[in-house]
Amino acid sequence: MRFYDIFNGDADGLCALHQLRLDQPREATLITGVKRDIRLLGQISPTSGDEVVVLDVSLDSNREALLQALAAGARVRYFDHHFAGEIPDHPLLEPHIDVSADTCTSLIVDQYLSGSHRMWAIVAAFGDNLPAQAYAVAAELGLGKGDIETLKDLGENLNYNAYGANLAELHFHPATLYLRMRPHADPLAFCAQAPELDTLRRARQDDLRRARDLPLENVGQHAVLVCLPEAAWSRRIIGSFANELARQYAKRTVALLLRSGSGYQVSLRAPEQGEAAIHLLAQQFESGSGRARAAGIAFLPDSEVARLRALLKKPASHSA
């Protein structure tokens, strides 16, 4: 019997796995990658009796590999909040999937564990740009302002580290960060003993300064758009910058277009004040996917930019 822990390399994936393993310790093969490397289940070939945990990657994007794993006799627990499509009904699949706009995978795991390691869920919620949920949970725990800001800083910096074209562009491999986190039940203790956070904090601020200097375009009355150059720093900061603009322009859709060869990589954020269904806009493009509040298009050809602009000019229902 083999064990696999498969998780998104961002703050939500890291914290979701960390909560689960604090509660249910187990050595497993770690499978992870950069933020946009979401077809992770296809990297393994489980056999009968193997146990697989998948966290914070879309079931729909991993459907074929999931069905193959189940057919081979592997048992799969699946925790996620992204668009899932039809969830297979299989005796070896245990799904914990909630695609609501106001949750993330770590909050789903927190509920599954009855709050046994809730402070890590707060870290993830901040990293996944769910500040209202993070502050609400922090208030339930009676945390002070200073501790809350420390958790916020941790979540945002863990999330920043996951963005890049490949693992070489990240400051730290996500599995390395998870192993550094693993001994710490208390994220505040981790923050006090993790020099990696100083590296991430400085790098994130440097990249944000560059991004803030770029021109911002109003697309009609309902969206703002920024084009980023084809560069490693742009790829690293696109998620953090999109979240910052979403908070700054709370009533508008945010679109970041990062030059990639003959097209763009696109990050989208739904208006924080209004309907959250940005995944419906992304899904109108061949490589679009995501969740209600944050979505993306892996590759948008130059020929499709005009269509994206036209959709951004519409009110934020994005249903068609």
Q: Which pLDDT score is estimated for 36?
A: 87
What percentage of the chain carries pLDDT values higher than 90? 92
Position 316 confidence tier, pLDDT thresholds 50, 70, 90: low
Q: Which pLDDT score is estimated for 317?
A: 53
Q: Which of 90, 204, 108, 113 is nearest to 155 (CA)?
A: 204
Residue-wise pLDDT tens digits, 200-244: 999 999 999 999 999 999 999 999 999 999 999 999 999 999 999
Q: Residue 85 corresponds to which tokens in the numbers above?
A: 């499509």
Between CA 295 and CA 274 the distance in angstroms is: 16
Q: Could you tell me whether strands 75-80 and 93-97 are parallel, antiparallel, or unpaired per DSSP bridges?
A: parallel
Residue-wise pLDDT tens digits, 31-58: 999 998 889 999 999 999 999 999 999 9
Computed on alpha carbons and rounded to an integer, the radius of gyration of the chain in Å comes to 19
Enclosing H/E stretch for 79: strand 75-80
Position 320 confidence tier, pLDDT thresholds 50, 70, 90: very low
Sheet of 75-80, strand order:
29-31, 3-7, 51-55, 75-80, 93-97
Angle between helices 174-181 and 11-23 (to 10 degrees): 40
Mean pLDDT of 146-167: 97
Q: Which of 48, 15, 201 is nearest to 125 (CA)?
A: 15
Between CA 202 and CA 208 the distance in angstroms is: 10
Alpha-carbon distance values, 39 to 42, 43, 65, 92, 313 (Å): 6, 8, 9, 20, 31
Domain map (residue ranges) of the chain: 3-200, 214-312
8-state DSSP, 66: H
Mean pLDDT of 161-169: 95
Within this chain, domains 3-200 and 214-312 share the same CATH topology: no
- According to CATH, what is the number of the domain 214-312? 3.10.310.30
Between CA 100 and CA 135 the distance in angstroms is: 18
SS3 content of the chain, % helix, strand, coil (to 5): 45, 20, 35
Position 64 confidence tier, pLDDT thresholds 50, 70, 90: very high
Q: Which of 221, 274, 214 is nearest to 244 (CA)?
A: 214
Q: Which pLDDT score is estimated for 291?
A: 86
8-state DSSP, 88: P
What percentage of the chain carries pLDDT values higher than 70? 98
Position 319 confidence tier, pLDDT thresholds 50, 70, 90: very low
Residue-wise pLDDT tens digits, 274-314: 667 899 999 999 999 888 889 999 999 999 999 999 999 98
Write 179-183 long-range contacts (CB < 8 A, 24+): 181/14, 181/18, 182/18, 182/21
First vs last C-alpha separation in the chain: 46
Residue-wise pLDDT tens digits, 70-97: 999 999 999 999 999 999 999 999 999 9
Mean pLDDT of 184-200: 96
Between CA 203 and CA 207 the distance in angstroms is: 6
DSSP bridge partners of 295: 268, 290
Could you count the other beta carbons within 10 Å of the beta carbon of residue 51?
17
272/18: higher pLDDT: 18
Q: Residue 233, Cα to own-chain centre: how many angstroms?
A: 18
Residue-wise pLDDT tens digits, 114-149: 999 999 999 999 999 999 999 999 999 999 999 999
pLDDT above 90 for 318: no
Query: What one-letter code names the amino acid at 32?
Result: T
Residue-wise pLDDT tens digits, 242-281: 999 999 999 999 999 999 999 999 999 999 776 678 999 9
**CATH number, domain 3-200, options 3.30.70, 3.90.1640, 3.40.50, 1.10.20:** 3.90.1640
8-state DSSP, 62: G
Enclosing H/E stretch for 260: strand 253-260
Mean pLDDT, the chain, whole residue set: 95
